[in-house]
Structure 1
Amino acid sequence: MSAAAPLTPQLADEVSEVFQLPPGQAEFMPLTHNPRNGVTGGVWRVTAGGRSAVLKVLTRAKDTTETWAASEDPRHWNFWRREAHVYEEGVARAWQPWGITAPDLLASVERPDGDVALWLEDVRDGEPATAWPVARHARHAERLGAAHGRALADGVVLDRPWLSRRFLRDYTSGQTVGRELLDDDTAWQQPLVRDHFPEGLRERMVRLHHEREWFLRTMESLPRVFSHLDQWPANLVSHHGESVLLDWAFAGDGALGEDIGNYIPDTVFDLFLPAARLPELATAVYEAYVRGLRAGGWQGDERLVRLGVCASAVKYDWLTALMLSRASDERQLDYGGGRTVEAERRYRERGVVLAFLADWADEARRLADDLGFPR
């Protein structure tokens, strides 16, 4: 849709309902999202009558790769209608008592073509987490820990028939691009890889790949908590003193520590924070999450939390192979594909993070041995 577009009859009815205006024109500005994901028909900021809202279209009919195909299975990690259920049934507000919320749902419209149009509160006046200082990331982690801690202490397991199960296993199993290159000497000698990946990274990430099944079993045996499963700075803003989480498409069952095990590396993978500050971020976020767990009432063995964070390194097993496959690309694009990224910087920064995750994997092995987890 163009910035200023005449409305189709369907859109005109939706705009009229959301903005309480007679049919007319509205401005549609495309927003950054994963264009490959088969469940996302598009995301726009819509302005009409001096007000704005966000429109997100959920679909199962989008032509995309097998990796990102929409699913009709309500437990599948990419179930096409999950985000609508999350908003419609108030699950996105589950953590609001601890300062983590979601945009208001203004309307959920079942379209004649089978798509669902989610009309959401526009929180663009909030401070995006992509620009947060480390202390603000830690504050969010503490809130998340408090929510998880209370649920664990009370023995409450939030579940719905459409929340995801086995997310980590099924998501990583589908990410296969470049996997055959992990044992390819030529791939590891490409200039971007050879010059910017730390020494010894190949052996460590290949080992993580070969031990993938053990890491997944370990994560699946940890205490369970309701999780967002896509927490990273691009999905988070600070708004009226609360953390506002966006994009609940993967939400469901997760391991204790899994959400922040995703959040920490993703903050650097997509260049929101320099890799040199990764240890500082990781320490601050982890310690804050544990403080939150304790404040929420959980009194379990902290080694289980640390194991959940460290073993979640397996989520990025596929990224090493993907980086090998793209090392010859002349253009490196950012998330959403809207801008180019300096290739040397991307490979240098991501190489540092992958080495950090290899350290996490080593720590997870030691913790599992100490805790008596089977190998």
Structure 2
Amino acid sequence: MYSKIILRNNSAINIENKFEQIIACIQSIHGNQTVELVSITCDDIGYKTPNFTTSGILRLHGLVKLYDELKPWCVILKIIKPDTEEKDSFEHHNYWRREALVFESGVLKELPDSIYTAKSYLVEEQQDGTIWLWMEYVEGEYAHTIEQFSYIARQLGRFNGAYLEGAKKLPEHEWICKAWLKSWTTASRMYAPNMEAYVSGISIDTVQSTWAWYQEVLKNIDSSLDSLQQLPRVLAHQDLSQMNMLLVKKKSRESHLVLIDWQFMSISGIGEDLGKLFGVNMSLGIIQPNQYQIFHDSLFTSYIEGLRDMGWRGDIGMVKYGFSLSAALRSVWEVPQFFSILSKLEEEPNNTKLRERLNQLDSIIKVHKKLIAEADSLKPSVFL
């Protein structure tokens, strides 16, 4: 039946027995019209920083015959897998089945219209224990400029604001993480390098000062995380790295925001998703050190505008608290990385890549210090 199909598999994944699934996806694209599959090319997209629960992301594309006319088609196949035992828990920020459940539940169809998502065509359990997620291929632009990031922040504010004002009801699925940042910081501390012995042998005042500040953050981390739980609740994406945010041009020439990879979906405090947006894109080097302050200010202003667009007139201090603290608590991963690189530079003093990364982390930690101080100053008024 499928002997005439031209197949080019440029991946290590066996798709030779998946023609029926591919046709089902293509028919969904074309309004369930009958199609004749002509060709398939399967490419590994080479995602460099996959999640621990992701074993592959593939782009399948080719031609089909529809009404005697050749039409191009394209779908994305994401393969998720079990990992450590802790990731079998709903409460874990990286519960391995979450994205499959997001697609199966239809929760993405109920999102506010400020956010768009890739369509899900098929969720398929495999005999080897993996789950194959067949979804829409979305062609868009990654954000680079302050204007693009600010647009995203405003859409994020509208997204969150819809839940604050009751335009949308928070979903109640038990597998949506309820304390994402608590789980993430716990895991980060578990896997971060232990640098205490190394730091104790350093006499440089600035280094010791950073370490002392970090110990104070750890001392107060439980109360900090508990305070975030007291903020107004919103539905959050919690993985707003550059690659998960696509700006798609419409016929009107306006862009709309498409968010992909909902593995970290959570119910979080107001401002937390914005903190993740700011913090993770500093970490990835998308936001450069000389732009940290202007991005910080513009993202926050745009997020507030988005909340106001939805009619929210609450306390801006609460938003700033959630934003500042959630971004700054990324220090539980980045401070140990800073000291780990510092130790490696003693062995490789001419390693320019390590030196650049150290300087970047030093700049990020300075931002974290300011944000912690800001959150501390806001706390008394936010939690009267």
**The TM-score by the shorter chain falls in which range?**
0.7 to 0.9
Q: Deviations over 1:300-338 (max 9, x none)?
A: 1111111111111223322211332344558xxxxxxxx
Judging changes above 3 Å, is the alpha-carbon distance between structure 1 residues 225 and 202 closer, same or farther for their aligned structure 2 residues?
same
Partners of 1:157 and 1:341 in 2: how far apart? Answer: 47
Equivalent of residue 149 in structure 1, options 152, 156, 161: 161
Higher RCO structure (Cα 8 Å, ≥6 apart): 1
In 2, the alpha carbon distance for the partners of 1:243 and 1:363 equals 30
> Is 2:138 aligned against 1:116?
no
CA–CA distance in structure 2, aligned partners of residues 347 and 25 of structure 1: 45
Quick one: distance in 2 between partners of 1:341 and 1:25? 43
Mark the CA change 1:246 to 1:182 in structure 2 (over 3 Å): closer, same or farther: farther
* Higher gyration radius (CA): 2
How many percent identity over aligned positions? 21
- Tell me which residue corresponds to 2:356: 345
Tell me the distance in 1 between the aligned counterparts of 2:199 and 2:208.
14
Q: Does 1:371 align with 2:382?
A: yes
Letter paired with 2:241: W
Match of 2:267 among 246, 253, 267: 253
What TM-score does the superposition give when structure 2 sets the normalisation length? 0.81
Instruction: Give the counterpart of 1:288 among 298, 302, 305.
Output: 302
Q: Which residue of the partner structure matches residue 169 of structure 1? A: 182
- In the alignment, the residues of structure 1 paired with residue 109 and residue 235 of structure 2 have an alpha-carbon distance, to the nearest angstrom, of 12
Following superposition, the deviation at residue 261 of structure 1 comes to 0.6
2:279–2:330 contact (8 Å) kept in structure 1: no
- Structure 2 equivalent of residue 227 of structure 1: 236
Q: Deviations 1:103-156 (Å, cap 9, x if unpaired)?
A: 111222222333211112122x31112xx2111111111111112222111283
The yes-or-no answer on 1:41 pairing with 2:55 is yes
Work out whether 1:89 is the aligned partner of 2:96. no
Match of 1:14 in 2: 21
Offset, 1:285: 0.5
In 2, distance between residues paired with 1:7 and 1:158? 36
Mapped partners of 1:92, 1:54: distance in 2: 17
Unaligned runs of 5+ in 1: 331-339
Given candidates 67, 76, 82, the residue that maps to 1:54 is 76
Aligned length: 348
Query: 1:91-110 counterparts in 2 under 5 A?
Result: 91-98=107-114, 100-110=115-125
- 1:5 CA displacement: 6.9
Distance (whole Å) between structure 2 residues aligned to residue 328 and residue 181 of structure 1:
9
**Gapped runs of 5+ residues in structure 2?**
1-7, 27-34, 64-71, 250-254, 346-350
- Aligned residue among 122, 140, 163 for 2:152: 140
CA distance in 2 between partners of 1:217 and 1:55 (Å) = 38
| CA-based RMSD | 2.9
Q: Which deviates more from structure 2 when the two are superposed, residues 277-286 or residues 89-98? A: 89-98
Aligned match of 1:71 in 84, 87, 93?
87
